[in-house]
Chains A and B, each alone.
Chain A
């Protein structure tokens, strides 16, 4: 069952099915669900970065007008690890009353020592955060290739050593985390409308908490307002809402407010490091050494991914030394954020490359071309369609395309030669890679009804990637219809399992199942029709809009063909095949990963910036990218994902930072006024070129385009002003400081 070779719809630009509903405000997000008799809940959170609870007095709150219920998450004696750590939830008849109730609660704390700055944590001798363990190091790694210290920079014509870094940022989902919970009259079945990237997981998390039987919790998510890796389960606020709904016997809505969303809704870990790199005069890299650290909150390490350094260039740099420390801080726990760890890795590799290129007097594009990760020949022989087998070719092709797109050869200049006026122009580039492979189970059901309507159904969710439309395109492609002919029902946990939408896995994880389902449904339809028409099954085939009967050359309109099936409907289920190796128990899916879906992409990005050397303000004026993602399903939505990822990267480069106050341990900008996100006027025109490789199968596109952007901007600033701004976000203050340092040096 391969993808159709001639594709009528797949890979074209197709408008999303629910675009009008969303744009006219008629689409009901979880935040928009209002149930009869619904109560509103609010949560009380720690004002201290580290404390224990002495007492909780809710007597006054319980006498406050409108009070309906309280759910204690923590009891007296419990330890609180960051400002924002949850203590309890209360609900009332109105949101206003819920806030009154919250204000009436009195909590006494034993305030303890805290640390919120990475560098402070790194130098602290003892564990002051209260996190598990003896010291402040959550995770650490030391790695070096053989004889690194003697051979790494031996043949280098130049070396460069400098520090680079990027701050903790927040997911800032526009629809905050939360849900509406409602129990049935017997208090046996729970329904939640949740803002989630994982519909079945959210239902399952609640089912386990309440010790219910399978099927007794239903999670619904018809529309969701933003998820970048932070919404994979009910979370504590979801459990609190469901507990309150049960104790009050009324539906309860609990959506986080903006300050909560920023302080508890997930962060991307920071990364700071000193990097040394060396290269020959021809530009061959000889060694890369990094000593870095970052924080992912009190007890988090894995999503920092420092072990990947030196990132894209790992396979091409012969000598590597890596030391990393993930430190505890009294801030919220990191959650996977769009390409976890990768943008930080790009910051710690791509920028030092340009600094070395300047020392070697080499064009940074030339330096990259000389150090592309080589094709993995063993891999290539085993399977020519995988990323490792052809990565050098992919990057080389993409760089050739982008070089023309941005007129690199004419526009690039040596660092610091960005023009005569006070506003300097510069170009900078970066490479990136990501997996983006899918997996099952993602059972999908396709129903063809006698009236010609077609319904596709699964429990998966649409985060804004136009997933409904992906389903419709594939079903319509096979049935000879238009995407608007297909009704797609998603976002309901009762429809069976599905994989969470994270890591760019939804499109590749669901597409094979959708294809399988619709092919089986088409087969069932043609078999039923053949019986009714008294012809052989193989004499019937589907063409755009019609079923063709080869026996008499008749072209039966699709709707008429459905009417003639003789059964009310035909239905088929499709999913990934679960084939296991009997000895190793490993899941076998070779054919699927190489022909229907795949993983591993490479991309290249180039930023043009204008730096005002009097104010330090950086504007990204134009941006180019060339990106592969295998077989594109919907080019319109795909290009939008890429441009959107770049804009998220531009925010990361120029504006975003969670700023924590050393004294109070609280975040000073848990909002959108002082936590900056760019508006339309701040964003450049973005030129996206999709490097189509349909023979590879479907690969996800959510993460890749946001990875290299901040590093590309950093390099463009360096190119414009000839000074390296070491830490992102590249704020005016930091740009001016970098310019002053340069001027201060001889």
Chain B
């Protein structure tokens, strides 16, 4: 593969295609047909400068758990992989890698997303929160505390994802009922089968007696 020079935003698509040998090699990676198609025809709207990055690594800035952190990733790198492989933020786990199991769940501007199914470059400018944000100055947030107290985890590999999903529900609606909180966990899967104990955690967080 031919390495392209990248600016902070990466090379523009025009620059990218103008590179002679580079164009042919790189087009295969980005999915364009390797042909003589004029660059202008490939651009949305037929002209003008469209900022683009890749295919080489580009510098990105992510706001993770309240801090701006910089790294350099190829545009194809998912938010999950950027967090885990490039920034050593490993509370979000890679399990299905296909937006099914929820182990990679993070909050993006307060909303839950599967970080395995979003590109890191798309997450720039948004506040990213992982389970690690729920532990500060030696003190854990009420949700992980409830998980620990009710033993709503065994191997624990899925747990940070569940915790983040639950945090998002309760932050959006502190008065959420146990049924509403449970609905917020339906995008997550636990293989050890700790749902019964999760319900105990949910009821305790909702200050509701479980019958």
**Cβ of A677 and Cβ of B189 under 8 Å apart?**
yes
Docked pose: A176 CA to B101 CA in angstroms: 14
**Cβ of A258 and Cβ of B96 under 8 Å apart?**
yes
B22 to chain A, nearest CB (A): 12
B113 at the interface (CB under 8 A from A): no
Q: Mark B119-157, 1 if CB is under 8 A from A, else 0.
A: 000000000001110110000110111011101011111
B78 to chain A, nearest CB (A): 10
A644 at the interface (CB under 8 A from B): yes
Docked pose: A124 CA to B195 CA in angstroms: 44
**Cβ of A257 and Cβ of B153 under 8 Å apart?**
no
Known contacts A31-B94, A96-B76; is A23 also within 8 Å of B196 by CB? no
**Cβ of B101 and Cβ of A15 under 8 Å apart?**
no
A33 to chain B, nearest CB (A): 9
A32 at the interface (CB under 8 A from B): yes
**Cβ of B159 and Cβ of A23 under 8 Å apart?**
yes
A108 to chain B, nearest CB (A): 22
Question: Which B residue's beta carbon lies closest to that of A261?
Answer: B95
A626 to chain B, nearest CB (A): 16
Partner among A65, A464, A685 whose Cβ is within 8 Å of the Cβ of B154: A464
Partner among B100, B149, B160, B182 whose Cβ is within 8 Å of the Cβ of A673: B100
- Chain B residues contacting A463 (CB-CB under 8 Å) are 154-155
- Chain B residues contacting A678 (CB-CB under 8 Å) are 189
A405 to chain B, nearest CB (A): 15
A174 at the interface (CB under 8 A from B): yes
B170 at the interface (CB under 8 A from A): no
A465 at the interface (CB under 8 A from B): yes
Docked pose: A374 CA to B74 CA in angstroms: 67
Q: Mark B70-103, 1 if CB is under 8 A from A, else 0.
A: 0000101100010011001011111111101101
Partner among A20, A173, A641, A681 whose Cβ is within 8 Å of the Cβ of B186: A681
B1 at the interface (CB under 8 A from A): yes
A53 to chain B, nearest CB (A): 26
Known contacts A15-B148, A671-B96, A672-B96; is A24 also within 8 Å of B88 by CB? no
- Chain B residues contacting A174 (CB-CB under 8 Å) are 93, 95, 101, 103, 155, 157-158, 189, 191
B188 at the interface (CB under 8 A from A): yes
- Describe A's contact surface by its main secondary structure: loop
- Chain B residues contacting A536 (CB-CB under 8 Å) are none
**Cβ of B77 and Cβ of A673 under 8 Å apart?**
no
Docked pose: A29 CA to B198 CA in angstroms: 22
Question: Which A residue's beta carbon lies closest to that of B56?
Answer: A65
Known contacts A23-B144, A23-B159, A65-B1; is A95 also within 8 Å of B85 by CB? yes
Q: Mark B151-185, 1 if CB is under 8 A from A, else 0.
A: 10111111110010000000000000000001101
Known contacts A96-B74, A677-B189, A685-B196; is A226 also within 8 Å of B160 by CB? no
Partner among A19, A64, A680 whose Cβ is within 8 Å of the Cβ of B1: A64
B42 at the interface (CB under 8 A from A): no
Docked pose: A22 CA to B153 CA in angstroms: 8
- Chain A residues contacting B94 (CB-CB under 8 Å) are 31
Q: Which of A677-691 contact B (CB under 8 A)?
A: 677-681, 683, 685-686
- Chain B residues contacting A683 (CB-CB under 8 Å) are 193, 195-196
A503 at the interface (CB under 8 A from B): no
Question: Which B residue's beta carbon lies closest to that of A13?
Answer: B151
**Cβ of A258 and Cβ of B95 under 8 Å apart?**
yes
**Cβ of B156 and Cβ of A22 under 8 Å apart?**
yes
A200 at the interface (CB under 8 A from B): no
- Chain B residues contacting A648 (CB-CB under 8 Å) are 191-193
**Cβ of A26 and Cβ of B135 under 8 Å apart?**
yes
Q: Mark A19-57, 1 if CB is under 8 A from B, else 0.
A: 110111111110110100000100000000000000000
- Chain B residues contacting A27 (CB-CB under 8 Å) are 156
Docked pose: A685 CA to B159 CA in angstroms: 20
**Cβ of B153 and Cβ of A100 under 8 Å apart?**
no
B14 at the interface (CB under 8 A from A): no
Q: Which of A170-188 contact B (CB under 8 A)?
A: 172-176
Partner among A257, A258, A647 whose Cβ is within 8 Å of the Cβ of B193: A647
**Cβ of B154 and Cβ of A15 under 8 Å apart?**
no
Docked pose: A465 CA to B193 CA in angstroms: 12
B3 at the interface (CB under 8 A from A): yes
Partner among B134, B151, B185, B186 whose Cβ is within 8 Å of the Cβ of A24: B134
Q: Which of A453-501 contact B (CB under 8 A)?
A: 463-466
Q: Mark B179-211, 1 if CB is under 8 A from A, else 0.
A: 000110111111111111111000000000000
Docked pose: A107 CA to B131 CA in angstroms: 43
**Cβ of A175 and Cβ of B157 under 8 Å apart?**
yes
B25 to chain A, nearest CB (A): 10
- Chain A residues contacting B93 (CB-CB under 8 Å) are 29, 31-32, 174-175, 225
A139 at the interface (CB under 8 A from B): no
**Cβ of B191 and Cβ of A226 under 8 Å apart?**
yes
**Cβ of B157 and Cβ of A643 under 8 Å apart?**
no
A145 at the interface (CB under 8 A from B): no
Known contacts A258-B95, A258-B98; is A641 also within 8 Å of B147 by CB? no
**Cβ of A25 and Cβ of B196 under 8 Å apart?**
no
- Chain B residues contacting A18 (CB-CB under 8 Å) are 156
Q: Which of A629-662 contact B (CB under 8 A)?
A: 636-637, 640-641, 643-648, 651
Docked pose: A548 CA to B88 CA in angstroms: 49
Docked pose: A100 CA to B76 CA in angstroms: 12
Docked pose: A19 CA to B145 CA in angstroms: 8
- Chain B residues contacting A175 (CB-CB under 8 Å) are 93, 95, 155, 157
A191 to chain B, nearest CB (A): 18
- Chain B residues contacting A16 (CB-CB under 8 Å) are 148, 151, 153
**Cβ of B163 and Cβ of A644 under 8 Å apart?**
no
**Cβ of A19 and Cβ of B147 under 8 Å apart?**
yes
A312 at the interface (CB under 8 A from B): no
Partner among A25, A636, A671, A680 whose Cβ is within 8 Å of the Cβ of B151: A636
Known contacts A174-B103, A226-B155, A465-B154; is A94 also within 8 Å of B196 by CB? no
- Chain A residues contacting B1 (CB-CB under 8 Å) are 64-65, 100
Known contacts A95-B85, A257-B97; is A224 also within 8 Å of B155 by CB? yes
Top 5 nearest A-B pairs (CB, nearest first) are A25-B91, A647-B193, A19-B148, A225-B157, A464-B154
- Residues of B whose CB lies within 8 Å of any CB of A are 1, 3, 74, 76-77, 81, 84-85, 88, 90-98, 100-101, 103, 130-132, 134-135, 140-141, 143-145, 147-149, 151, 153-160, 163, 182-183, 185-199
- Residues of A whose CB lies within 8 Å of any CB of B are 15-16, 18-20, 22-29, 31-32, 34, 40, 64-65, 94-96, 100, 172-176, 223-227, 257-258, 463-466, 636-637, 640-641, 643-648, 651, 671-673, 677-681, 683, 685-686
* 11 A-B residue pairs with CB within 8 Å: A24-B132, A25-B130, A29-B157, A32-B84, A65-B3, A173-B191, A466-B151, A640-B196, A643-B197, A644-B154, A648-B193
